[in-house]
Amino acid sequence: MSRVFFIIFCSGLLMGTAPAQTAVKVPRPEEKDRAERAVAKQQEKKAQHTNAIEFRGQAAFDEKALRSHLKEQITTIDEYGLTPARGDDAAFFLELFYRKHGYAKANVRYTIESGDRLRLDITEGPLVTLGLVNFVGNQSQPTEVIFDYAVGPTRERYSKLQKKLPFVASDVEEGADLVHRLYVSQGFLDAKVDPPIYHYAEDGSHVDATIPITEGRQYFFGELTFAGQTLYGPEALRGQMLDLVEQPYTDSRLADIPRRLQAYYRARGYYEVKVDAIGDPPASSNGKVPVQVTITPGRLYHFDGVTVKGLVRLRPSYLSRRFSKFSGKTYSPDLVDEKFRELMRSGLFNVLQIKPTPIGGDALRLDISAEEAKSKEFGFSLGYGSYEGAIVGASFRDRNLFGYGRPLTTSVELSERGYKGEVLWEDPYIFDTEFGFKARLAALTFDYDGYTKFEAGTRFDLTRKLSKNYEVGLVLAERHVEVTSASIDPQFLGRTSYFVSSIGLTQSLDLRDSKVNPSRGLIFNNTLDFASSAIGSQIDFIRSTARFTYFQPIGREPKPGEPDHRTLLAFGARAGVIHSLSGANGVADIPIDERFFNGGSTTVRSFIERDLGPHDGDNPIGGEFFTVFNVEYTFPIYGELQGAAFFDAGNLLPSSEDPGFDDMRYAIGLGLRYKLPIGPIRLDYGYNPDRRAGEDVGAFQFSFGFAF
């Protein structure tokens, strides 16, 4: 169901620590009055000093901007007094400020007047802009590319839309240095970029610059030879650096070779491996630089023991048991890093450091130092959903129940359609195994279109990660459902009071790069569960659902630190079927609350929530088979604001006896997204292109998270 939440957390409020008792001395009235007069006098004195600086002759910048630039010098004068040296400093830095903004002939003189007053007389001169930037000698690098480097230092301070940039000689010289670095990064080791030559216009309005370039030869990696105790064949070692040696030769890429090979050897247990790589450009032939790599692998290490320090509330065994299965195995930094990330995701730690320490022979001990995070947390949430209306919630969570690192969460949520209360207990490592366990106790009421229900029950999940991305699970559930009121014909409701006991299997393959804001990858999951009188259920059925979503970015991948301006194309497909295992009883075999519904912010968006499919009058009654297909194209607009265009298709069929793609319905729409660290807020409008009698033209959807 569509909803948007705004959440406030208050951490560590129930730590059980009594407030410290501190004696407080109450000042006498005359002492308080004396202190207030001293503060007022000091503030008055400071204001007099600040106002004792006068600017004359400025036109391009207002006094506020000039004072802001000289705030350090003004502070020094306020604190230590005005001297000729400090007045000269103020004039000097103000002159630099003007020249940094293109006033190349700016001049600032200072005068100390009576009463410790500093006067700064400014002669701004004309604003000088940067005219043409010419490059002489560039052949391999396009002019438009090196131009961006040359004007980059100046461009950083101004909008990209500003065509005329101020002329700042130091910026152009810094830009020439950046051009030189560009050439070196492309393998032109002998490249020379001479200082810029300036050509001043007769009227002094602009300056053209010429930057002479001598490119020289471009170098590439030549023959790689290996020396020392390599252990692995040359082809295996070359395979670790193919992407490096296929690029132009540079010192930084040469330095990457030892790092790559050290990671390769350490992943195989050689913790103390040493690798040196030496290139010899003078010995190159036709620009091919020979490289010799010397390898000293050292001992083959194995995990042997763990030490833990820094814990206060959490029991040390929580950490030591997480690494116990590594004992005796060959050392692998990848295993340690994976376990580190898993532990940090638990929220139990602010800091966690794991240091491998050789302890004799081939043994390697893991010394763990931890700083615990606050374990107790209050949460309050306010939100709005297109279907639920206004929503308010509260929760309390203890991540470290009784010091065992097992979280317990209690929550309550109220909306315009009902309420929900839940208690959730989690054990990420039940019985110190790799299985995760969750036990959930919940009760809720909800007012759907056409009926209102009360539900209470429990659910137990046992999960196991078989790999980093693949997880399987077993689910046991017991629920009591009571339809407390209804305006739907009883023949469409099915049973209105029943217990359902079910057992199910789940599996999930998640290859997305992020669970909350994915930009590439795919996820596939499906469930299979059945309810039977053999396990205490009053209704019998078998049910299965499947989901597939794929994300594909379009455009150049951003470099580290750059904003991501790529667009995103996403595809989704879902289906579900539920089939009764009992005979007909004169009413629907599957109760209404066990059926599937379609339409809404995460399915076919031209329909309001649950409104696609069979109806009894104006009320949806659900179905036993559904499909949903989505295609969405997302593009940046400004900052974190994004636009989207989408196409949805899906159906909802009343009987599982005849599944298929009959009665497909569609949505064509546009939307807005605002990206938050915890997922996007979405506003969509879906148009119904095959509207039928009584249906709306389309629907607005306001929600949180990805649609599929």
Range in 28-32, 259-263, 551-555, 622-626 with the lowest mean pLDDT: 28-32
Q: Mean pLDDT throughout 655-684?
A: 94
Task: Supply the DSSP string of 400-421, one letter for each residue.
Answer: EETTTTEEEEEEEEEETTEEEE
Q: Mean pLDDT throughout 63-82?
A: 90
- Rounded-to-integer distance, Cα 370 and Cα 354, Å: 9
Residue-level pLDDT at 410: 98
Q: Mean pLDDT throughout 477-497?
A: 96
| Strand arrangement of the beta sheet that strand 53-56 belongs to | 53-56, 117-123, 107-113
* Closest listed residue to residue 306, CA positions, set 342, 274, 339, 273: 339
Does pLDDT of 22 surpass 80? no
Dihedrals φ, ψ of 216, to 5°?
A: 75, -165
* Closest listed residue to residue 579, CA positions, set 550, 549, 545, 605: 545
Q: Which residue has the tokens 């469930």?
A: 527
Q: Mean pLDDT throughout 129-157?
A: 93
**Bridge partner residues of 306 (DSSP):** 366
Residue-level pLDDT at 20: 37
Residue-level pLDDT at 424: 98
Residue-level pLDDT at 13: 40
Residue-level pLDDT at 302: 96
- The string of pLDDT tens digits covering residues 330-351 is 999 999 999 999 999 999 999 9
Range in 32-36, 203-207, 225-229, 236-240 with the lowest mean pLDDT: 32-36
Chain Cα centroid distance, residue 113: 57
**Mean pLDDT taken over the chain:** 90
Does pLDDT of 698 surpass 70? yes
* Closest listed residue to residue 670, CA positions, set 648, 639, 696: 648
- Rounded-to-integer distance, Cα 335 and Cα 464, Å: 17
- The string of pLDDT tens digits covering residues 23-52 is 334 445 455 556 555 544 454 444 444 457
| Dihedral sign computed on CA atoms, order 558, 563, 565, 570 | positive
Q: What tokens appear for 473 in the block?
A: 């699970």
Does pLDDT of 18 surpass 80? no
Q: Mean pLDDT throughout 181-195?
A: 96
Find the length of the chain.
708
Give pTM, 2 decimals.
0.72
- The string of pLDDT tens digits covering residues 75-93 is 998 888 899 999 999 999 9
Q: Mean pLDDT throughout 235-245?
A: 93
Task: Supply the DSSP string of 184-244, one letter for each residue.
Answer: HHTT-TT-EEPPPEEEE-TTSSEEEEEEEEE--PPPEEEEEEEEE---S-HHHHHTTSHHH
Domains in the chain: ranges and CATH:
41-123 (3.10.20.310), 129-214 (3.10.20.310), 220-296 (3.10.20.310), 302-372 (3.10.20.310), 495-704 (2.40.160.50)
Residue-level pLDDT at 12: 44
73-106 b/e (C-beta count within 10 Å ≥ 16 → b): bbebbbeeebeeebbebbbeebbebbbbbbbbeb
DSSP letter (8 states) at residue 95: H
561 falls in which pLDDT band (50, 70, 90)? low
- Rounded-to-integer distance, Cα 144 and Cα 627, Å: 51
CB 89 within 8 A of CB 156: no
- Rounded-to-integer distance, Cα 108 and Cα 91, Å: 5
End-to-end CA distance of the chain: 12
| Dihedral sign computed on CA atoms, order 550, 555, 559, 563 | negative
Q: Is 231 exposed, middle or buried (0-12, 13-18, 19+ CB in 10 A)?
A: middle
Higher-confidence residue of 402 and 561: namely 402
